[in-house]
A and B are shown apart, each in its own frame.
Chain A
Amino acid sequence: MPIKFQSKPGLVIYLTAGDPSLEATHAIALEAIDAGADVIELGVPFSDPLADGPVIQRASERALARGTTLKDVLVLAKQIRTARPQAGLVIFTYLNPILRYGLAKFADDAKAAGADGVLVTDIIVEEASDATSNLLAELDRVSLAPIFLAAPTSPDDRLEAIAAHSKGFIYAISRTGITGKQQSLTGDAQSLVARIRRWSTLPVAVGFGISNATHVAQVAEFADAAVIGSAIVELIERSAPEDKSGHAQAAAVARFIKGLRQPEAALTR
């Protein structure tokens, strides 16, 4: 069950659920899909997001300060699924909130909400099949796609294991580091995607540091999709943070996404 990327390059848009409000995330997600996002990654805010840079840390703090819970995120997922049945929907989370919720219940509820896949930042393939954190068995039971991260530092034997356990798509991390914008893509990303292709026929999405149309065009040359996270979250932070309805942010995000597939416009600006 690979997740379909309708357009080339595919666009995966990450949103921290509940920032600036659940209602706003809902509005932003729908506008993002209408503007061309193939997949929405709905981020579950976590108190200690050690794989994230300052932008997503701040968004998580704001979402938690408003009381956003995993249960809320799953309700939101269901609303987005109902409103936009064709879009890809991935729950993006750290492990502890779903462990506390119960992995079996989480899998059931994420499936019922209409999610396609689950990405857990701090779980590696080995621990995802360990008895104490058997995420793979639970996702498999309800036919939800496990999406794993592949890193430039992952040797081939790890890429092989990641490929063997992934469904949906494989998320290739563009560089060593945490989430956040960067000036240009390193050579790491392209060689990583080439190595992943040796082990998998799944679509490969490249993320971390992708923030403009030039990056997206570069990624399109060697991968199936680009993941945009911090750039969108920062845009939401900057656009009318006092507007909790999300209309202003949704309009800004839609404009931004439309621009991402127009590298010429970006280059001549």
Chain B
Amino acid sequence: MASVILPSAPSESRPGRFGIYGGRYVPETLMAALVELEREYESAKADAAFQTELADLLRDFAGRPTPLYFCKRLTEQLGGAKIYLKREDLLHTGAHKINNSLAQGLLAKRMGKQRIIAETGAGQHGVATASVCAHLGLECIIYMGEVDMERQHLNVLRMKLLGAEVRGVSSGSKTLKDAISEAMRDWVTNVRTTYYILGSALGAHPYPTMVRDFQRCISREMKQQIIEKEGRLPTAIIACVGGGSNAIGAFYEFIPDRDVRLIGVEAGGRGSALGEHAARFSGGNPGVLQGTFSYVLQDENGQIALTHSVSAGLDYASIGPEHAMLHDTKRAEYTSRTDAEALDALVKLSRTEGILPALESAHAVAEALVLAPRLTPRDILVVNLSGRGDKDMGIIAQELHLDSHPGEA
């Protein structure tokens, strides 16, 4: 039987701490639930029946393993490193989010919780969670910022179709951060009956560890596939970083391979001033937001800053704590690409390879477009294509004027 979850990770200094980052910064009311969740997760890890059920669902329901695809035309055009895509966009519901939602859904069932809540930014985690809840017969409530509901409207409709209740959040910036706060308020109120399926490698322990473990199948497959195809490890892995779940999933198995560069791409938005982007490492400081100690975009008084990105999934003021550690230890590099670069990359990949990436994933593609020509044909880049761009067609059409009459564009 394939082991879905490997034993505890070498990168945690102690449970829930990644160097100085991580921890559990929550109201006391949630502590009992977090301890219970940690215990249940540890016991599920050791439970062969749980792992078999998860492995079967990942294969038959979600569509794992996902292919590693060589971008022949793009590589030729750029004239440098070979570019591969890890096709998480081909998964059921359209992104890597289903890996985590399935696993946490099974945990909830195991704990006897019938009511599921989740937050969503781009809507991919919401759609994945709604699908899992439909599959498992669980009640599902999704919190989503009103700004995101508008720009990811298709996903709102999908969640409703799948039987979920979508609750709009009108506080603060009306985006992912506010959806998480509202989900936490629901959880603290209904903690005895409710399971919170957090969608990124964020929040209080055990979430960052657990979500990473549920996403590390990405790098495990990637490693095996690149060795099969190329007989060696890649020069670099490139992934976009919002909260950081697809990136940590894509990086994790390569952390001990010191020669493999790990490159996280944050949202550069439309400028470098606070409020115009979501580049936490260049613009943020260590702090506490929503349960964890990590880099946080904030003002000089410790108030959380507004963020901007064309992609809802990267539009968040903090970053998963394990990324903060990988950043400080310099094991991973973090850079950012702007809204415009992401849109250009989205068009380029669509027209060169016939693959429409999500706006989030397009940030990683944009980094590859810059990096590949600077490297040699001996080099290999693997881009984690975390999601597909169907959900973004409204924004893309608007930004690229696709609806305009011939000759106008």
Q: How far is the CA of A262 from the CA of B303 in the complex (A)?
A: 40
Asked if B260 is an interface residue, CB under 8 A from chain A, the answer is no
Asked if B71 is an interface residue, CB under 8 A from chain A, the answer is no
Asked if A183 is an interface residue, CB under 8 A from chain B, the answer is no
Chain A, residues 89-110, CB within 8 Å of chain B (1/0): the string is: 0000001111111000000000
Asked if A163 is an interface residue, CB under 8 A from chain B, the answer is no
Interface residues of B in 17-67 (CB under 8 A from A): 20-21, 23-33
Beyond A96-B298, A96-B304, A100-B300, whether A50 also contacts B32 by CB under 8 A is: no
Interface residues of B in 270-290 (CB under 8 A from A): 285-290
Beyond A96-B289, A96-B298, A99-B288, whether A148 also contacts B189 by CB under 8 A is: no
| Residue among B29, B190, B287, B291 with most chain A CB within 10 A | B29
Residues on B with beta carbons closer than 8 Å to the beta carbon of A46: 302-303
Residues on B with beta carbons closer than 8 Å to the beta carbon of A149: 27-29
B residues contacting the other copy or chain, number (CB 8 A): 40
Looking across the interface, which residue of chain A has its beta carbon closest to that of B296?
A: A96
Q: How far is the CA of A152 from the CA of B190 in the complex (A)?
A: 12
Partner of A153, one of B33, B185, B288: B33
Residue pair B303, A176 in contact (C-beta under 8 Å)? no
Residue pair B25, A48 in contact (C-beta under 8 Å)? no
Partner of A124, one of B26, B189, B296: B26
A residues contacting the other copy or chain, number (CB 8 A): 42
Residue pair B293, A51 in contact (C-beta under 8 Å)? no
Asked if A133 is an interface residue, CB under 8 A from chain B, the answer is yes
Asked if B95 is an interface residue, CB under 8 A from chain A, the answer is no
Residue pair A100, B285 in contact (C-beta under 8 Å)? yes
Asked if B191 is an interface residue, CB under 8 A from chain A, the answer is yes
Task: Tell me the smallest distance from the CB of A170 to a CB of chain B, in Å.
Answer: 11
Beyond A48-B181, A70-B302, A96-B288, whether A124 also contacts B31 by CB under 8 A is: yes
Asked if B172 is an interface residue, CB under 8 A from chain A, the answer is yes
Residue pair A96, B287 in contact (C-beta under 8 Å)? yes
Which segment, of A154-162, A213-221, A224-232, A240-248, faces chain B? A154-162
Task: Tell me the smallest distance from the CB of B289 to a CB of chain A, in Å.
Answer: 7
Residues on A with beta carbons closer than 8 Å to the beta carbon of B178: 48
Looking across the interface, which residue of chain B has its beta carbon closest to that of A159?
A: B28
Partner of B24, one of A57, A124, A131, A177: A124
Q: How far is the CA of A18 from the CA of B330 in the complex (A)?
A: 42
Asked if B404 is an interface residue, CB under 8 A from chain A, the answer is no
Task: Tell me the smallest distance from the CB of A75 to a CB of chain B, in Å.
Answer: 14
Chain B, residues 167-186, CB within 8 Å of chain A (1/0): the string is: 00001100001100100110
Residue pair B302, A50 in contact (C-beta under 8 Å)? no
Looking across the interface, which residue of chain B has its beta carbon closest to that of A45?
A: B303
Residue pair A127, B24 in contact (C-beta under 8 Å)? yes
Asked if B188 is an interface residue, CB under 8 A from chain A, the answer is yes
Task: Tell me the smallest distance from the CB of B193 to a CB of chain A, in Å.
Answer: 10
Residues of chain B touching chain A, judged by Cβ–Cβ distance below 8 Å, are: 20-21, 23-33, 171-172, 177-178, 181, 184-185, 188-192, 285-291, 293, 296, 298, 300-304
Q: Which 7 A-B pairs have the closest CB atoms?
A: A100-B302, A97-B302, A151-B29, A177-B189, A153-B32, A47-B303, A149-B28
**A-B residue pairs in contact (CB < 8 Å), sample of 6:** A48-B172, A49-B181, A50-B188, A100-B298, A151-B31, A153-B29
